[in-house]
Chain A
Amino acid sequence: MSVATRTRPPRAIAAAPSGARTLRAVVRRGLRDNRRAPLTWGGSLGLMSAMMAALWPVIEDSMDELMNSYPEGLKEAFNIAELDSVEAYVDAEMLSLIVPLAIAFLAVRIAARAISGAEERGYLDTLLAAPVARHVLVAGAFLVSAIVVVEVLVVITVSTWLAGWVVGAEPSLAVLGRGYANVWPLALLSGGLALLAAGVLRRAATVTAVAVGTLVAMYVIDLVGKLADPIEPLRSVSAFKYYGSAVRDGIDPLAFAGLALAGAVLAAAGALLFDRRDVR
């Protein structure tokens, strides 16, 4: 069926707001929607991380014994080197598994809810009748997840540093900061994965399952690859290979930028797919 409305002089066409303006509005709304994340996600992970830092003076002396009790394979798999400082202990306890996966899940959740979640609840019908291009929605979701993750990581870092200082462990803010900052590109990649899935799938739960499943698979490939030589070559497809330990080795700028860029590319691919499909 062809439906046409006769044209008036195109005065309002010129008034269509720019992509930058709508992107700013979408991001602002997204940040408001997720304004509790620094408190809930940052608060709970920060509390956990702060407890690890606060425990350090108590367990510091038994670390050598503990390290000797770990099998070499386990130490290699979980990036555990010398536990000779509070930062290294926080790195081993928080940054090898819990924080990367939790923050990755947060990024996936934000991205999935912004597109597929909004679609299945019917919000997109209203939103996309406004002058908002679909790729702007996807870009907005990506930016919101990136910003919220920064907020959460800052809360965790500061909580850990403060707890360490209170108990006299005197952690370095710079070292802790680089350790937690290193999680950010992994979160961008996770958000990008979710947006790629949302470009095709309409249910937030399915998008989350696909993105988180992919991340877990990458984690397992990386873990097994460290232990089993035949699997080792497969590690190159895992984001966790490039994650490393920024507390111990500092941030690898190439890996950092590469993961962030991969996240942006996945999000862009998601935007292309989303632009080509029906919104139901």
Chain B
Amino acid sequence: MEVGAGEVFGFLGPNGAGKTTTIRTLLDLLRPTSGAARVFGLDSRRDSVAIHARLGNLPGEFAADPRLSGRELVAHFAELRGVRGLGRADVLAERFEADMERPLGELSRGNRQKIGLIQAAFHEPDLLLFDEPTSGLDPLMQEEFLAFVAEEREAGRTVFLSSHELDEVERACDRVGIIREGRLVAVEDVADITGRAFRHVTLEFAGPVDPFEFGGIPGVSELEPRGNRLSFKAAGDLDRIVKTAARHTVTDIELTRPTLEEIFLTYYGRNGGA
């Protein structure tokens, strides 16, 4: 697997699949039992200090000395990185509404995560490693984070983002690597993944509807009528479904994305084989 400069690469997999282990191997926190990882063309173990000088990392469970304020933490990392001042830390703090003055131990998980994000990005690194970065952030901040990632891409930076949220990866990334049970099972463009993904659809009508009207639509499967409600899976274009439903009085529509596990089962089979 190779990630290009200036690319936003999503690393997708259910909890426990090996996303964090991969990132920790790239960071030389874990040593591979076999194989090798290279970052910027350098060996992740032998050249770890040179690599770390050019990257920023936000761990999934960001932790730092709770007695330190965000400002003190960033100042320490600026000193370690040889950065004068605090770089763009204050700009990021304003953007993410982060409190840089209070001790980290007094901040909520989401607010600590914001400090972690600032710590990872204040020095404008060439590569940003984000491990489940939006966990703990409220929806507005999640949106702001995704906008930030898009701007980093525009600025030519590489972002390696691990997530178990398909939506997040779909919106932020160019390509996606899918990992399952410690093995990389696919590397695809985001459009290919989402194009192949299905949705759970539930329609509720004012009166009874013949399910066979929907059964003949390409991409519809697993029809399940229940009174005036009709549930099914829909893959691909939803246009015919909407038009068919529009012949009746629709009282409610529910569309849900499949879970990652469902996508894996659909595309890679129960045994995980591609």
Contacts and interface: CB of A to CB of B under 8 A. Distances in A.
Given A122-B63, A128-B28, A5 B39 contact: yes
A280 B22 CA distance: 13
B268 interface: no
A123 B41 CA distance: 27
Interface residues of A, number: 39
Contact of B38 (A4, A10, A122): A4
B64 A4 contact: no
A168 interface: no
A58 interface: no
Interface string B125-144: 01101000000000000000
A126 B59 contact: yes
B22 A13 contact: no
Interface string B247-258: 000000000000
Nearest to B38: A4
A121 B63 contact: yes
Interface string B9-39: 0000000000000101111111110011111
B52 A132 contact: yes
A22 B81 CA distance: 8
Interface string A99-140: 000000000000000000000011111111111110000000
A75 interface: no
B82 A12 contact: no
A74 interface: no
A15 B3 contact: no
Nearest to A16: B53
Nearest to B28: A128
B27 A5 contact: no
Contacts of B80: 17, 22, 25-26, 127, 130-132
Contacts of B54: 12-13
A17 B83 CA distance: 9
A127 B120 CA distance: 11
A66 interface: no
A29 B65 CA distance: 11
A259 B63 CA distance: 36
A13 B48 CA distance: 11
Contacts of A229: none
B50 A5 contact: no
Contacts, number: 141
Interface residues of B, number: 54
The CB with the most chain A CB atoms within 10 A, among B27, B52, B62, is that of B52
B4 interface: yes
A10 B48 CA distance: 14
Contacts of B62: 122, 126
Contacts of B129: 129
Contact of B65 (A8, A15, A123, A280): A123
Contact of B126 (A8, A121, A131): A8
B155 interface: no
Nearest to A121: B63
A164 B2 CA distance: 71
Contacts of A12: 53-54, 126
Contacts of A8: 5, 40, 126
A13 B50 contact: yes
A25 B1 contact: no
Interface in A50-108: none
30 contacts: A2-B35, A2-B36, A3-B22, A3-B26, A4-B1, A5-B39, A5-B158, A6-B4, A8-B40, A13-B40, A13-B54, A15-B82, A25-B76, A25-B80, A28-B79, A33-B65, A122-B62, A123-B64, A124-B29, A125-B59, A125-B61, A125-B63, A126-B62, A126-B63, A129-B27, A132-B80, A133-B48, A279-B24, A279-B30, A280-B29
Given A1-B1, A129-B129, A280-B29, 17 more contacts: A1-B25, A4-B2, A5-B40, A5-B41, A5-B127, A5-B158, A6-B2, A12-B126, A25-B80, A123-B64, A126-B62, A129-B52, A129-B57, A130-B77, A277-B31, A279-B24, A279-B30
Interface of B: 1-5, 22, 24-32, 35-42, 48-50, 52-57, 59, 61-65, 67, 76-77, 79-82, 116, 119, 126-127, 129, 158, 160, 183-184
Interface of A: 1-8, 10, 12-13, 15-17, 21-22, 25-26, 28-29, 33, 121-133, 276-280
